[in-house]
Amino acid sequence: MIYQIRKDDFLSWLKKQREGKKVLVPTRKEEGYLFLPWVGDELDLREYTNTLKPVKDVFFPQWETLIRYRVEKEKSGEIVEETSRTEPLILFGVRPCDAKSIKLLDNVFDGEKYKDPYYCQRRKNTLIISLGCRELGPTCFCQNIGINPLSSEGSDILLVEFEDRYLAQSGSDTGLEILEQAPFTPAESKEQKIFDELNGNPARLNEAEFRSLALNNMPDFNDSVWEKLYQKCLNCGICTYLCPTCHCFDISEMTLDSEGKRVRSWDSCMYSSFTLHGSGHNPRPTGKERIRQRIMHKFNYFPQNYGVIACVGCGRCVAECPVNFDVREALKLLGVWKDDLQL
């Protein structure tokens, strides 16, 4: 079922949400768009393709305190505070690729056996309103790997711009509850048809097809192609920081006077220290093993474990790599890219 809302009405509705919730919207900054708390009354979405940073840090911040504890001798380890407080949040303007990335991260942080309470709490507290892509950015490649830029997967509500309105589709029960009330109204059959037309399977390859390519055609672990692949990579890690599905982290400790903190921060498989043992042994000693790990994790290990590819085709790694390492070219070299590559 498709709903609709006039853009003006939506703006008023979103404004009203600020009374009880924090609202993050794509905000234009000198360097590009970032998700920031919405101040003012207008949304400036001219030239918005996607945010510079993925949306993952709303749920899995780059740096956060896990626990605070005492360090004085007799009280050592006494927990002062366990969880960080989170507030109800609305994320508006998330692109479908990034919305999907959150669903992928749920597999990791909201697992069967272990749940990450920090991530899960934020996830529970956040409403995701995504904005479907009518046009793709220069490095977007979602469609080549089976992701629909108008999908509501991972969103509570998907909005698609159409003339002076947004067409809306729910991606969750929470989303549906909202859409069933004013100011949202059920769309007429005409709009329904327009939505279906826009949404007429724009992905050029379905995800299952790509997944099967990645699972079955990936070269052998010791194939010489890996030797070729890593040569120009600087191991700077920018691709992992900007990747919406990268979730590796470090846990470290900080102490000040009588209090200590256990802190989690993003880490990267591109760094040699990431896997370096205390003994000096390193299972991934060079860039070759690390690039192989990054690609295999996304396109082979993750689908083995969770049944889905851990790349959403947002293209940030392509756009921001200082030496123009292009994951699409890499996949082509590895024989798991089906489409012609027109770069």
Strand runs labelled E in the chain: 3-6, 22-29, 32-37, 63-70, 79-81, 89-94, 126-131, 157-162, 165-170, 185-186, 249-256, 259-266
| Position 54 contacts other proteins (CB under 8 A) | no
| Position 278 contacts other proteins (CB under 8 A) | yes
Nearer to other proteins, 46 or 113 (CB): 113
* Contact (CB, 8 A) for 152 and 174: no
Backbone angles phi, psi at 127, to 5 degrees: -105, 125
| Position 300 contacts other proteins (CB under 8 A) | yes
Q: Contacting other proteins (CB under 8 A), which of 52, 67, 89, 236? A: 67
The count of residues interacting with other proteins (CB under 8 A) is 50
Q: Contacting other proteins (CB under 8 A), which of 8, 82, 163, 196? A: 82
Q: How far is the CB of 4 from other proteins (least distance, A)?
A: 40
Backbone angles phi, psi at 300, to 5 degrees: -135, -55
| Position 6 contacts other proteins (CB under 8 A) | no
| Position 46 contacts other proteins (CB under 8 A) | no
HSE at residue 79, side-chain half, CA atoms within 13 A, is 7
| Tally of CB atoms within 10 A around 7 | 15
| Position 216 contacts other proteins (CB under 8 A) | no
* Contact (CB, 8 A) for 153 and 308: no
Q: How far is the CB of 190 from other proteins (least distance, A)?
A: 47
d(CA 5, CA 298) in angstroms, rounded, equals 37
Stretch that binds other proteins, among 18-26, 136-144, 146-154, 300-308 (CB under 8 A): 300-308
Helix (H, G, I), strand (E, B) or coil at 89: strand
Asked if residue 88 has a cis previous peptide bond (ω within 30° of 0), the answer is: no
Alpha helices for the chain (secondary structure H):
7-17, 96-109, 117-124, 173-179, 189-198, 207-216, 225-229, 238-242, 287-296, 302-306, 316-320, 327-334
| Position 275 contacts other proteins (CB under 8 A) | yes
Token readout for 50 is 């996607």
Torsion of CA 32, 38, 39, 43, to 10 degrees: 70
> Site residues for other proteins, window 91-150 (CB under 8 A)?
108-109, 111, 113-117
Q: How far is the CB of 252 from other proteins (least distance, A)?
A: 7
Q: Contacting other proteins (CB under 8 A), which of 238, 276, 308, 333? A: 276
| Position 230 contacts other proteins (CB under 8 A) | no
| Position 77 contacts other proteins (CB under 8 A) | yes
Nearer to other proteins, 62 or 76 (CB): 76
Q: How far is the CB of 156 from other proteins (least distance, A)?
A: 24
> Site residues for other proteins, window 159-188 (CB under 8 A)?
none
Q: How far is the CB of 183 from other proteins (least distance, A)?
A: 40
Q: How far is the CB of 96 from other proteins (least distance, A)?
A: 25
d(CA 229, CA 289) in angstroms, rounded, equals 10
| Position 305 contacts other proteins (CB under 8 A) | yes
Token readout for 73 is 């001798």
Contact pattern from residue 242 through residue 261 relative to other proteins, giving x for each residue in contact according to CB under 8 A and a dash for the rest: -----xxxxxxx-x----x-
d(CA 215, CA 181) in angstroms, rounded, equals 44
**Residues at the contact surface with other proteins, assessed by CB under 8 A:** 66-67, 69, 71, 73, 76-79, 82-83, 108-109, 111, 113-117, 221, 247-253, 255, 260, 262, 267, 269, 274-279, 281, 283-284, 289, 293, 296-297, 300-302, 304-305
